[in-house]
Amino acid sequence: MPKVLSEDAVTQYRRDGYFHPVDILDETAVAANRAHLETFEAGQGHPLKGGQRNKSHLLFRWVDDLMRTPRILDAVEDLIGPDILCWNTLFWIKEAGSESFVSWHQDYNYWGLDSEDLVTVWLALSPAAVESGCMRVLPGSHKRGSMPHDDKFNDDNMLTRGQEISKGVDEDKAVFMPLKPGQASFHNVQIAHASGPNLGADRRIGLSLHYLPTHAQQTVGDWDSAALVRGEDTYGHFTPAPRPKQDMDPDAVAFHERASGAVRDILFKDADKVRPTL
Ligand SMILES: O=C(O)CCC(=O)C(=O)O
């Protein structure tokens, strides 16, 4: 008996590689989390950028708390079982009216992780409508194996190397995953997905959280880290991520430097060009 998702939702996720929307945060919690983010951005005088977008749970205690939200973990447990690591937390912010987009890609090809059970939870902290460039997916593509990608390095592309599937995407079969603030979508690490520019009047703020079973291993990088967020880790394949005591906890910030650098090296492996920051 699933804890949060219905039997139908689990069946759809396994068959099509995605499921949405799931209500996670109420209005008050969305406003509080958005305020944490935007207060920090106002303080530094610019939006989150570079390494701040990755492994953000090591910089911000409120992201670490979000990563451990029981309702998210219950839903993830419905999909991948009770022993759960969070590998990464990653902000996807498209400013209102920005050209930022995400080309069609599969994450499995780039993250160096050997588990096809990795599930990405994409949590909306502002409206993610079709107009604001919500994600779209190609149903069933998680069962097609690795599709060919080219690195295009477009500045408006939010992906590190501008990786884009070169063959096999039929846009007519794509499904949009619009979300209201506080809702989340769930997608499999192998599914082809993309998103367009934000033509809306508000920022599109998404936080993706990458959950994997504890047996997963990093196969590309020599060193990697993850946070045990539920159950037991009897494998010890990842260095445990520390929990920040507060935002910008010096020990966690130092760990973030190493951990986000390791992710950058993994993402840019064999790339012709490397961006200085993620
Ligand atoms: O936020 C987006 O539009 C794309 C996000 C994405 O590629 C992901 O979460 O894997």
**Do strands 102-105 and 119-124 pair parallel, antiparallel, or not at all (unpaired)?**
unpaired
Ligand 1 centroid to 122 CA: how many Å? 7
Instruction: Give the chain's radius of gyration (CA, Å).
Output: 17
Q: Collapsing DSSP states into helix, strand and coil, what is residue 108?
A: helix
Extents of the domains making up the chain: 21-267
Spell out the per-residue pLDDT of the chain, length 278, in tens.
889 999 999 999 999 999 999 999 999 999 999 999 999 999 999 999 989 999 999 999 999 999 999 999 999 999 999 999 999 999 999 999 999 999 999 999 889 999 999 999 999 999 999 999 999 999 999 999 999 898 888 888 998 778 899 888 999 999 999 999 999 999 999 999 999 999 999 999 999 999 999 999 999 989 999 999 999 999 999 999 999 999 999 999 999 999 999 998 898 887 776 665 55
pLDDT in tens, 9-34: 999 999 999 999 999 999 999 999 99
Q: How far apart are CA 11 and CA 21, in angstroms?
A: 15
The pocket around ligand 1, CB under 6 angstroms, is made up of 92, 102, 107, 120, 122, 135, 193, 195, 206, 208
- Contacts for 32 with CB less than 8 Å, ≥ 6 apart: 62
Ligand 1 centre to CA of 234 (Å) is 30
| Minimal-distance CA residue to ligand 1 atom 8 | 208
Q: Which atom of ligand 1 is nearest to the CA of 107?
A: 10
CA angle, 227 then 78 then 180, to 5° = 85
DSSP class per residue in 143-162:
GS-PPPEEE---TTB-STT-
pLDDT value, residue 77: 98
pLDDT one-digit tens code per residue, 125-171: 999 999 999 999 999 999 999 998 988 888 889 987 788 998 889 99
Name the architecture of domain 21-267: Sandwich (2.60)
Query: Which pLDDT score, from 0 to 100, does residue 274 have?
Result: 65
Edge-to-edge strand order for the sheet containing 18-23? 18-23, 183-188, 119-124, 204-213, 84-94, 225-230, 239-240
Contact of 105 with 31, CB cutoff 8 Å: no
Contacts of 171 (CB under 8 A, 6+ apart): none
Kindly report the number of other CB atoms within 10 A of residue 83's CB atom: 18
Query: How many angstroms separate the alpha carbon of residue 143 from the centre of ligand 1?
Result: 19
